[in-house]
Structure 1
Amino acid sequence: MIPFLQADAVTVHAGSQRIVLPTSFTLEPGRPFTIVGETGSGKSLLAQALVGNLPDGLSAGGRVRIGDLAEDASAATRRALWGRGITVLPQEPWLSLDPTMRALPQVAETHRFVAGREDAEAYGAAGRDLADLGLGEALARYPFQLSGGMAQRLAFAAARAGGAPIVVADEPTKGLDAARVGDVVALLQKGLEAGGALLTITHDLEVARRLGGDVAIMLRGEIVEQGPAETVLAAPSHAYTRTLLAAEPRNWPRRPRASAAGASTEPVLTFENVAASRGGRRLFSGQSFRLQPGEILGLTGPSGCGKSTLGDVALGLLRPDAGRVARRSGLAPAAFQKLYQDPVAAFPPRRTLRRTLADLVALHRLDAGRLPALMERLRLHPALLDRRPGQVSGGELQRFSLLRVLLLKPALVVADEPSSRLDLVTQKEMIELLVEAAAQDGCAILLVSHDEALVAAVSDQRIRLELEGAGSLAA
């Protein structure tokens, strides 16, 4: 049986610097292949090299064969197969969606122009695709009206609509709640059952477990362990793989609860019977809590239930429909900060990260001397400062988001899925930094996450929102 794709000693270079070491594997029909690795390890660059879509300034070496092509498939040959022969499910949905086009026509467009369907058939197929992904009520919404998880599912539907047999899924479940992760895994497996091939890039070991097949573990541009998923993830031979397994949130020790503040201490944030809507739909109501300095409040729930909306209400970015929201008096506006779920949208795209941080330091008269230590703690190489946001990985940009917030020493941080783009080891380090900020600086944190185990490990109190709007507060 001829492999759908064969990679032979594929490398990625930035000038004379080799970023991805020679990597070889095959994609067999019906058998998934998953690459797991830390943020910035080169796994996404490897995928881009395979499909012929490396960023400017980078070059690929080695050989890539697709199907029964007798000769080495050049990057131009692979690009000619986009949509029909090979498709990529993107890591950053905001960069792949048209902000001026509603959800239904975005997917219908692929059915029409790539798969060759007539208008009525294309729109019908697009509607079914979106309904299958739980987006039946979002057909007429623009991308900016969707939650991060909903935008990810929309991008998934648009990429898959062309019916390409080879799917390269780059972090396809990033930012999704557990139920939606299962839905996406099931959709990926459905393509395999039809005889397709699947290459998945992920930092989620549970996704690798569910997909099965073969797994490769990448560290600093090198595959350090490879084999059947049930072997690699149950009895790993490499120390780094064992470190990844230990870093899963379900294996974290439970954080001791923060000491209760005195009755005379003014809360940083107070909600009293708060209700809010978005897009004309009521998301939650009757929410009441007090968040004291140094406390962490964990907020969980399925995608689209209103987690990000509650955070926006907390910061005054959105007015509630009912109830009272109070933020601690006497604090400057910069004391209330947000870590965005999609950091791409939170950075000026044409400025280098160095310029953006320098502007922040100058505007708020901050201590620039704290930058090197924070960058080292977040494992951010100084060379990244001279790149623009689009020239670093999503995980690296998320860590720059945290660095920017910590420089301000805020009183309240609304952390909206702050680790959804990170591998397990880096996620643990990033959450530990948030916990340190709460403990050492008295910073209150509203932690929004789809990961129940992560929230349970670090939170002093918890809220779970449901899609129908009911929420519950628990210690």
Structure 2
Amino acid sequence: MSFLTATDITVRDGAQTLLEPLSLTVTPGEPLIILGETGSGKSLMAQAIMGTLPAGLRAQGEVRIGAHTLSASEPRRFRGLWGREISVLPQEPWLSLDPLMRAGTQVTEAHRLVRGLSAADAKARASSDLGQLGLTAAARHYPHQLSGGMAQRVAIAAARAGGAGIVIADEPTKGLDAARRDDVADLLLSEMGDNGGLLVITHDLALARRMGGQMIVLRQGKVVETGATETVMSAAREAYTRALLAADPESWTRRAPSRRDGPPVVDVHGLSVARGGRELFSGVGFDVAAGGVFGITGPSGCGKSTLGDAVLGLVAPAAGTVTRRADIGPHGFQKLYQDPVAAFPRKRRLGETLNDVARMTGESARVAPLLEQLGLSPTLLERRPGAVSGGELQRLSILRALLRRPALIFADEPTSRLDPITQARVIGMLGEIAMTEGTAILLVSHDAALVRNTADAVLPLGKTVLPEPQPDAASVATAPH
């Protein structure tokens, strides 16, 4: 018995084939994991199955959902099944959440309008769903008041609320710490039970191990390897799969600490920040020198991104001081946003946006070499943000920031959408930029191993306990109260 069968699904952009013929079957009670590098076609495959490909892309093949047989080339026919028979947990929560509606109301509405519960039952069920995800207090907040990880969990609750028998989860744990990642995995498995269908698209190796089931490994739009998840991850046959597994941050060699002379780029003393009447942290102190990498880690919602925003002057502290080196202009401080889709104009081609920055800075000649260094195809510049993967957009945001030759980059979860191989390349590139150009890096990540093996010193926020490298004279952290 199968809930979902896709046969010979192909995706093209004009004459270019982005996803070569792919067939899959989702059976009740057994997850199917799609693992692969950024830009491998994982999300395109899901969009083709759902009938939600961006404008300009065309799909072919056949999709069978329960008793319905549909052509992938006729996406309008899928709409009557959305939410009721098949639902998707989106990769970008900011595109799926209503910015004018509180989190609890969004989940309640899905229970009431899609699942058909009464108003009282829908509200009670929404409260229970959010509570399971550690979001009881977030129910009254709007999306822009939530951290990236919290917004992701609200989107998961809203997508599940319709009661669809088949769920496609597209990178459901990006930006989440290990505990929240496991909570989401357990919730998805519980919701699937013995009779539901679950298709999980991810580059998160720990999530794949926890989910189990069957696995398909994709690379550059082609199937590389298939089999039971446990077998593929413990005894992969293909060299690419083995390289993907070996690139986990737990296996990285710790970066040698930088040692720089001169005044710090930023100097933080006794910093306290509150949001919505709740103190996120207090008594934080550290400094970051030119060429230094300072790491901040901790669970989702503990204030990591807010701390970085306070360092840049985007958030006013409740107490304490942030001193930025006086000879650095405002453009010398750049932020890599956790959700790059919200940082690019949706209606403009990516090349137009990057060219604007390059002309302002006189750095047009750097665009091509940076594209190559980041593993990006120049053809992406002809597309709009909605027509590229989240990982590709994340790397393009890094390119845009580098065109400013900044003195400090606040990198807010800069690899949350990247597969392990690409993640290692990008983090290595940021470390090289710090070393060769003297750029200070303020690195925020939920991944404790990534931060531990990259930063000169680490500041743990919240309840995270993280072994720290010995700080040198260029970078010293004071633990928060």
The answer to whether 1:405 aligns with 2:401 is yes
Distance 1:69 1:405 in 2: 47
Deviations 1:440-459 (A, max 9, x none): 01111110000001011111
Q: Name the CA distance, whole Å, in 2 between partners of 1:207 and 1:17.
A: 32
Question: Could you tell me which residue of structure 1 aligns to residue 40 of structure 2?
Answer: 41
Residue 357 (structure 2) aligns with: 360
Q: 2:161 & 2:429 partners in 1: Cα distance?
A: 41
Q: Which residue of 1 aligns with 2:166?
A: 166
The offset of 1:296, in angstroms, is 0.7
CA drift at 1:471: 11
Q: Tell whether the 8 Å contact from 2:101 to 2:142 is kept in structure 1 after alignment.
A: yes
Q: 1:326-345 to 2 correspondence within 5 Å? A: 326-345=323-342
Which of residues 445, 448, 454 in structure 2 aligns to 1:452?
A: 448
Deviations 1:18-41 (A, max 9, x none): 211111121000000000111111
Name the counterpart of 1:307.
304
- 2:248 aligned with 1:248: yes
CA distance in structure 2 between the partners assigned to 1:194 and 1:136 by the alignment: 28
1:274, distance to aligned residue in structure 2 (A): 0.8
Following superposition of structure 1 onto structure 2, how do residues 225-240 of structure 1 map, counting pairs within 5 Å? Answer: 225-240=225-240
Aligned residue number for residue 420 of structure 1: 416
Normalising to structure 1: TM-score of the pair? 0.96
What is the TM-score of this pair, normalised by structure 2?
0.94
Q: Which residue of 2 aligns with 1:21?
A: 20
- Give the 3 Å change call, closer, same or farther, for CA 274–70 of structure 1 in structure 2: closer
CA contact 2:217–2:226 (8 Å) conserved in 1: yes
- 1:284, 1:471 within 8 Å by CA — same for their partners in 2? no
Distance 1:287 1:226, change over 3 A: same
Output aligned runs, 1:381-396, within 5 Å.
381-396=377-392
- Between the aligned partners of 1:356 and 1:53, the Cα distance in structure 2 is 25
For residues 471 and 377 of structure 1, do their structure 2 counterparts lie closer, same or farther at Cα, with a shift above 3 Å needed? closer
Q: How does 1:68-467 map to 2 (within 5 A)?
A: 68-69=67-68, 75-259=75-259, 261-262=260-261, 265-363=262-360, 365-466=361-462
Structure 1 residues 62 and 350: CA distance shift in structure 2, 3 A: closer
Does the CA-based 8 Å contact 1:465-1:471 persist in structure 2?
A: no
Give the C-alpha shift of residue 206 in structure 1. 1.1
Letter of the 1:285 counterpart: S
SS of 1:168's partner is strand
Aligned residue pairs total 469
Partner of 1:53: 52
AA aligned opposite 1:91 = Q
What amino acid is aligned across from residue 28 of structure 1 in structure 2?
T
Q: Distance in 1 between matches of 2:326 and 2:290?
A: 13
Task: Give distance in 2, aligned partners of 1:341 and 1:353.
Answer: 18
Distance 2:103 2:466 in 1: 28
Question: What SS does structure 2 have at the residue aligned with 1:139?
Answer: helix
Seq. identity, %: 55
Q: Which runs of 5+ in 1 are unaligned?
A: none
| 8 A contact 2:452–2:469 mirrored in 1 | no
1:343-377 deviation per Cα after TM superposition (whole angstroms, max 9, x unaligned): 111112222212111211222x3221111000011
The 1:326–1:125 alpha-carbon spacing in structure 2 relative to 1, beyond 3 Å, is same
CA distance in 2, matches of 1:71, 1:123: 34
CA–CA distance in structure 2, aligned partners of residues 229 and 87 of structure 1: 23
Cα distance between partner residues in 2 of 1:471 and 1:225: 35
Verify the 8 A CA contact 2:10 2:60 in the aligned structure 1.
Answer: yes
Q: Is 1:11 paired with 2:10? A: yes
1:223 Cα offset (Å): 0.7
For 1:300 and 1:115, locate their aligned partners in 2 and report how far apart those are by CA, in whole Å.
38
Cα pair 1:341 1:416 within 8 Å, conserved = yes
Q: Distance in 2 between matches of 1:71 and 1:51?
A: 10
- The alpha-carbon distance between structure 1 residues 327 and 85, as it changes in their structure 2 partners (threshold 3 A), is same
Q: Distance in 1 between matches of 2:204 and 2:386?
A: 23
SS at the partner of 1:418?
coil
**What amino acid maps onto 2:392 in structure 1?**
E
| Offset at residue 70 of structure 1 (A) | 6.8
TM-superposed deviation, 1:293 = 1.1
With over 3 angstroms needed to count, the CA separation of the structure-2 counterparts of 1:377 and 1:71, relative to structure 1, is closer
Deviation, 1:205, is 1.2
Q: How much does 1:78 deviate?
A: 3.0
Q: Residues of 1 paired with 2:24 and 2:380: CA distance? A: 30
Q: Which amino acid aligns with 1:244?
A: L
Report the RMSD for the aligned CA atoms in angstroms. 1.7
Please report how far the alpha carbon of residue 194 of structure 1 lies from its aligned counterpart in structure 2 after TM superposition: 4.4
Instruction: Name the stretch that deviates more: 329-338 or 17-26.
Output: 17-26
Q: How far apart are residue 42 of structure 1 and its match?
A: 0.8
Partner of 1:114, secondary structure, is helix
